Structure 1
Amino acid sequence: MCITLLGLTRMNEPFADFALSDFWEESDYARREYVGPAFTDLDVARVERKLGYKLPKSYITLMRTQNGGIPKRTNHRTSERTSWSEDHIAITGIYSIGKEKTYSLCGEFDSSFWVSEWGYPPIGIYFADCPSAGHDMLCLDYSECGPTGEPRVVHIDQEREYKITLVAKNFESFVRGLEGDDAFET
């Protein structure tokens, strides 16, 4: 939806000018482990109730194009060093909304798993895993905005005493900032 005021157009829908149709990588692994079935608003409400947090509108919008999976671009720049790199982090995939898949927000490796089994801080929703097989994760961090606010995206590094590194001011900025491996080749 666009609102025009005095000749200025303001986009207020997530990803209004972003090509989500070309976001996901096709793979059997993604379909088996990440990609969940289509969901309803009632399904979203159930997941939010179980997690104790309101999902960002941009997360829901992205998941309506494909419910979880592996993005074509899996790297995001950071302003400080992480265990992965001096200037960026990498993700393996983004969790689907639901509980059907291993990598879904309420699945086998949900936020409560990362908090209780691995000792990650209980600051929000762990929504993306990294190539380290659990030694670093991405989280929708609600610690500053509360459970119904707009969370920031942070990288949490278990190998560095759960160091928290800001990745993006919100989920939409995170998605827009993803880059391919070629952006980081030396």
Structure 2
Amino acid sequence: MVEPFASEDMFTGPPVDDALIAETEKRLGYRLPSSYLDVLRRTNGGSLRRRRCPTSFPTSWADDHFEVRSLIGIGGARGIDSNGGHGSKDMIAEWGYPDIGIVLFDMPSGGHDAVMLDYRECDGDAEPSVVYLDEDRVPRRVARDFAEFLGLLVESGDSRV
């Protein structure tokens, strides 16, 4: 796998271990996808090298894509599990996102759109799908799981988009 991170940033959390994972899952009420945890064990969040996600639908960004800025890690003041205005639950409440899972990315729009893990159809050992929420707050599936989502991302100047 190509290293997805360009650098650490305010969304980079502390080193990940089993205790932090268990605490985060308990706080959020969801089991985190193994593909997400594999990435976090190497680097717990940060700015991404590849940020553009092609879509088959128009977004507030463009006719054929949206962009993410940073993957949000776990733990720390700005992890997906944090309290105090920066965690996933806080973002769902503040921005009126549907309560379907976990907000995973910092977006260039500052909250007007989001990328989330969608747990609505998740049962057993299945991993949640990844959805994009635009200003209309309608979840649109962009990948069957987190690993597929990372594989979709391209650099902003990439001609594949």
- TM-score where L is the length of structure 1: 0.79
Structure richer in helix, relative to its length? 1
The one of 51, 56, 61 equivalent to 1:74 is 51
Identity, in percent, stands at: 36
Segment of structure 1 superposing worse, 144-153 or 124-133: 144-153
SS at match of 1:115: helix
In structure 2, C-alpha distance between the alignment counterparts of 1:149 and 1:134, rounded to whole Å: 28
Deviations 1:118-175 (A, max 9, x none): 2110000111121111100110000111486310010111x2x212221111000011
RMSD: 1.9
Q: How far does residue 180 in structure 1 lie from its aligned partner after superposition?
A: 0.2
**2:29 paired residue among 52, 60, 76:** 52
SS, match of residue 179 in structure 1: coil
Residue range with higher mean Cα deviation, 111-120 or 77-86: 111-120
Q: 2:77: which partner in 1?
A: 101
Which amino acid in the other structure matches residue 178 of structure 1? L
Q: Which runs of 4+ in 1 moved over 3 A?
A: 146-149
How far 1:42 sits from its partner (Å)? 1.3
User: In structure 2, what is the equivalent of residue 91 of structure 1?
Assistant: 68
Give secondary structure in 1 for the equivalent of 2:5.
Answer: coil
Amino acid corresponding to residue 131 of structure 2 in structure 1: V
- Which blocks of at least 5 consecutive residues in structure 2 are unaligned? none
What is the total number of aligned residue pairs between the two structures?
A: 159
Matches within 5 A, 1:1-40: 18-19=1-2, 22-26=3-7, 30=9, 33-40=10-17
Amino acid at match of 1:170: D
Could you list the runs of 5+ residues in structure 1 that have no partner in the other structure?
Answer: 1-17
